[in-house]
Chain A
Amino acid sequence: MDKTIPSLAEAVAGIGDGATVMIGGFGGSGAPIELIHALIDRFVATGHPTGLTVVNNNAGNGHVGLAALIEQGMVAKLICSFPRSADPVVFTELYLAGKIELELVPQGTLAERIRAGGAGIPAFYTPTAYGTALAKGKKIEEFDGRPYVQERWLKADFALIKAEVGDTHGNLTYRAAARNFAPLMATAARTTIVQVSHLVAPGAIDPETVVTPGIFVQRLVEVPDPQQEEVLNRAKAVYP
């Protein structure tokens, strides 16, 4: 029972062309920069993976992390709620040129679709988006006199997330508001790959404080002092 992987390159191995990949983070907070960059490294070296469907709240910022993944042309489709940022040029240009597909999902519906995917709930009803363009074509049903929109679960082949502390069983805690989508994504992917800032032995995390139980995690790689997207963007960093 040791889920640790010795290197970032091995941690992202097996993510193939056309895979659906959930990537944690809300803007730069919680973005697993090193895992994303490891995937880009593999693409630069081998030409794979490509044609990815990526699930994230946003569409990247600047030229690092998710924006760099998109800039490399590795992403065919993005499922997100808010594809704008301080510097959204990478996604914007590809989108307006028709070179990347966008599925726009209200933020709470995105979170709940992922939660449902992880919990084995194929569909649910929400008041969100009723009567709007984003409910077009979706089943509407009334409960207690109010109309609701049917939404489907969202699952992935892989999830790439960042946690603060992880033990070798995959139990995780997060840092501040960086957890955002990560605990949900960890449940909804067949293979959840986590970069942890601190890797510890089982027992070192108080069970009362575990946020993501290890059952939802398949691979862990330790990345001490991870890079922060906002800091990289202020330094005008470009990857690779």
Chain B
Amino acid sequence: MTKLSNAQIAWRAAQDIEDGAYVNLGIGFPEMVAQYQPPGRQAIFHTENGILDFGEAPPAGSEDWDLINAGKKAVTLNPGAAFFHHADSFAMVRGGHLDVAILGAYQVAQNGDLANWSVGAKGVPAVGGAMDLVHGAKRVAVITEHVTKDGKPKLLDRCTLPLTGVGCVTRIYTSLAVIDIVEGHFVLREKLPSIALADLQALTGAPLHLDGAVQDLIVPELS
């Protein structure tokens, strides 16, 4: 089955970020979104550990380990960057000052519930800033494969894994579609032209509602 690569999902999510937006990207996959800002737009990226307006990774060997992102990877600073302590950092998060947060997901439910911090199994639990981020940004979006590695839906009627937040997600960019959450429903906005609506529905764990025409999800080839 044709589906978008992670880079392509990240590209699609990046197209919705406005010029001048303050943005937090979850660690791992969501960090890729920063690479695909449309020309002429400049978002300002926030990292929980205390930097606004950080840039790309430095070349290997020239890392400064006091300049890292939330994933503890080395970063650089853009002109106009700022440092701050953790209480200020999470005032930016919880206080509603970020325009958008883009996070990964294990599961998203049609009511906007998100599960992305624990698979509920034995092991060491770790939450980081995920539970704060989902209540902070004006817009909380998720980027994810449409289904799990073994083909089960990740978009569900109700999450079965431990929740990160309740009713917090408003848009989901998957490897097959772009779906909004509106009043407790999945509303299909875009889908790959190559997949039939019925097939997409079969891979989705709750009804896909339509609200006007469904657009084709067109994404460039990316290396």
The answer to whether A177 and B128 touch across the interface, beta carbons within 8 angstroms, is no
- Which chain A residues have a beta carbon within 8 Å of chain B's beta carbons? 26-30, 59, 81-86, 88, 91-92, 95-96, 102, 104-112, 114-115, 126-134, 174-184, 211, 228-231
Contact A177-B67, Cβ < 8 Å, known A81-B127, A104-B125: yes
The smallest C-beta distance from B59 to any residue of chain A, in angstroms, reads: 16
> For the complex, is B53 an interface residue (Cβ under 8 Å from A)?
no
Contact with A84, one of B83, B84, B124, B163 (Cβ below 8 angstroms): B124
Chain B residues, CB < 8 A from A184: 85-87
The answer to whether B90 and A108 touch across the interface, beta carbons within 8 angstroms, is yes
> For the complex, is B51 an interface residue (Cβ under 8 Å from A)?
yes
Chain B residues, CB < 8 A from A107: 48, 86, 90, 127-129, 132
Contact A179-B93, Cβ < 8 Å, known A29-B68, A129-B131, A134-B127: no
Give the CA-CA distance A105 to B130 in the complex, in Å: 11
Contact with A177, one of B66, B118, B166 (Cβ below 8 angstroms): B66
The answer to whether B68 and A108 touch across the interface, beta carbons within 8 angstroms, is no
Known: A180-B50, A230-B63. 11 other contacts (CB 8 A): A84-B124, A105-B127, A106-B128, A108-B93, A111-B89, A112-B90, A128-B131, A132-B162, A176-B64, A177-B68, A181-B86
- Which chain B residues have a beta carbon within 8 Å of chain A's beta carbons? 47-51, 63-68, 72, 83-87, 89-90, 93-94, 113, 118, 122-132, 135-136, 162-166
**Nearest 9 pairs between A and B by C-beta?**
A108-B90, A108-B132, A131-B166, A111-B86, A176-B66, A127-B135, A107-B129, A106-B131, A230-B65
Give the CA-CA distance A92 to B128 in the complex, in Å: 16
Chain A residues, CB < 8 A from B125: 83, 102, 104
Contact A180-B85, Cβ < 8 Å, known A27-B72, A107-B129, A175-B66: yes
Give the CA-CA distance A147 to B84 in the complex, in Å: 28
Chain B residues, CB < 8 A from A59: 124
Chain A residues, CB < 8 A from B93: 108
The answer to whether A26 and B49 touch across the interface, beta carbons within 8 angstroms, is yes
Give the CA-CA distance A92 to B84 in the complex, in Å: 30
B71: nearest residue on chain A (CB-CB)? A27
The smallest C-beta distance from B51 to any residue of chain A, in angstroms, reads: 5
The answer to whether B124 and A177 touch across the interface, beta carbons within 8 angstroms, is no
Chain A residues, CB < 8 A from B89: 108, 111
Chain A residues, CB < 8 A from B122: 96
The answer to whether B126 and A83 touch across the interface, beta carbons within 8 angstroms, is yes
A230: nearest residue on chain B (CB-CB)? B65
The answer to whether B124 and A95 touch across the interface, beta carbons within 8 angstroms, is yes
Subset of 23 A-B contacts with CB under 8 Å = A26-B49, A26-B86, A83-B126, A104-B126, A106-B128, A107-B48, A107-B90, A107-B129, A108-B48, A108-B86, A111-B86, A126-B135, A127-B135, A128-B135, A131-B163, A131-B165, A132-B166, A133-B118, A176-B66, A177-B49, A177-B67, A177-B83, A180-B49
The smallest C-beta distance from A174 to any residue of chain B, in angstroms, reads: 8
Chain B residues, CB < 8 A from A183: 85, 87
Q: In this complex, which of B86, B94, B129 has the most chain A Cβ atoms within 10 angstroms of its Cβ?
A: B86
Chain A residues, CB < 8 A from B129: 81, 106-108
A178: nearest residue on chain B (CB-CB)? B66
Give the CA-CA distance A29 to B50 in the complex, in Å: 11
The smallest C-beta distance from A110 to any residue of chain B, in angstroms, reads: 8
Chain B residues, CB < 8 A from A177: 47, 49-51, 66-68, 83
Chain A residues, CB < 8 A from B165: 130-132
B128: nearest residue on chain A (CB-CB)? A82
The smallest C-beta distance from A83 to any residue of chain B, in angstroms, reads: 5
The answer to whether B49 and A83 touch across the interface, beta carbons within 8 angstroms, is no
Give the CA-CA distance A104 to B40 in the complex, in Å: 42
The smallest C-beta distance from A27 to any residue of chain B, in angstroms, reads: 4
Chain B residues, CB < 8 A from A126: 94, 135
Q: In this complex, which of A86, A88, A179 has the most chain B Cβ atoms within 10 angstroms of its Cβ?
A: A179
The answer to whether A29 and B162 touch across the interface, beta carbons within 8 angstroms, is no
Contact with A29, one of B66, B126, B166 (Cβ below 8 angstroms): B66
Chain A residues, CB < 8 A from B124: 59, 83-84, 88, 91-92, 95-96, 102
Give the CA-CA distance A130 to B168 in the complex, in Å: 11
Give the CA-CA distance A84 to B117 in the complex, in Å: 12
